[in-house]
C-alpha cells in the first residue's frame, strides 16, 4: 500500500474517540463551526475533553492558536463544572483573551473554581480584590483633591478635624 492510499484510508475512516475526531478535523483542515467549541456535543464529549481542546487552541497545539475558540471550549467545560476550565475561563476574562476584558466575569468563574478547591483561583481572586481596593483608594484621593478648591467642602473638612 502506498503512502497516498494509506492517507486516504485514514481520511475515510470514521473517528473512534474524541482525540481521533479532533486529529481528524485538524489533519484534513475541516472548518470549526463559528461560535462553538469544535467538540461541543455535551452528550458525547466530556468536560475534560472540551477543556483539553481549549488548551490546544490557547497554545496552538496541533491547531492554529485561537483565543476565541479556546474561551468557547473553556466555557462549555466550565458550565459542566470542570474546575480547571473555570479557572482558565476566568483568566480569559481577566486578560481579555478571546473575550472582552471583564473583571466581574473573571471573579465569577474564579469563585466557582475556588469553591471547588482551586488554590490558583483563590490566589487570583485575592489579587483582583487588592487591585480593586487600590483603584478605590486612587479614586477617593482624586475626589478629595478635586474638591480642595470648593470653600464649603474645606469648611466641612476643617469641622471634621475637630471631632
What would the pLDDT profile of 37-95 be if each residue is shown by its tens digit?
A: 655 555 557 899 999 999 999 999 888 999 999 999 999 999 999 999 999 999 999 99
Handedness of CA 6, 8, 12, 14 (dihedral sign): positive
User: Which pLDDT band, with edges at 50, 70 and 90, does 134 fall under?
Assistant: confident
10 Å CB burial of residue 160 (0-12, 13-18, 19+) is exposed
User: For residue 94, which phi and psi values (nearest 5 degrees)?
Assistant: -65, -40
Indicate whether this model's pTM tops 0.75. Answer: no
Residues 6+ apart with CB under 8 A from 24: 11, 15, 30
Nearest-CA neighbor of 42 among 76, 15, 19?
76
Written out in words, the top-level CATH class of the domain with range 31-161 is mainly alpha
The alpha carbon of 150 is separated from its chain's Cα centroid by a whole number of angstroms, namely 45
Amino acid at each position: 500500500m502506498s503512502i497516498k492510499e494509506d492517507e486516504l484510508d485514514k481520511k475515510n475512516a470514521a473517528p473512534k474517540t474524541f482525540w481521533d475526531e479532533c486529529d481528524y478535523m485538524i489533519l484534513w483542515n475541516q472548518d470549526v463551526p463559528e461560535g462553538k467549541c469544535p467538540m461541543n456535543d455535551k452528550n458525547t464529549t466530556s468536560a475534560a475533553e472540551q477543556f483539553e481542546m481549549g488548551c490546544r487552541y490557547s497554545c496552538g497545539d496541533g491547531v492554529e492558536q485561537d483565543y476565541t475558540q479556546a474561551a468557547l471550549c473553556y466555557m462549555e467545560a466550565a458550565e459542566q463544572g470542570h474546575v480547571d476550565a473555570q479557572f482558565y475561563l476566568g483568566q480569559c476574562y481577566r486578560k481579555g483573551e478571546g473575550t472582552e476584558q471583564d473583571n466581574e466575569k473573571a471573579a465569577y468563574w474564579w469563585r466557582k473554581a475556588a469553591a471547588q478547591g482551586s488554590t490558583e483561583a483563590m490566589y487570583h481572586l485575592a489579587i483582583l480584590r487588592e487591585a480593586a481596593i487600590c483603584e478605590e483608594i486612587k479614586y477617593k484621593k482624586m475626589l478629595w483633591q478635586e474638591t480642595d478648591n470648593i470653600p464649603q467642602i474645606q469648611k466641612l473638612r476643617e469641622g471634621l478635624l475637630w471631632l
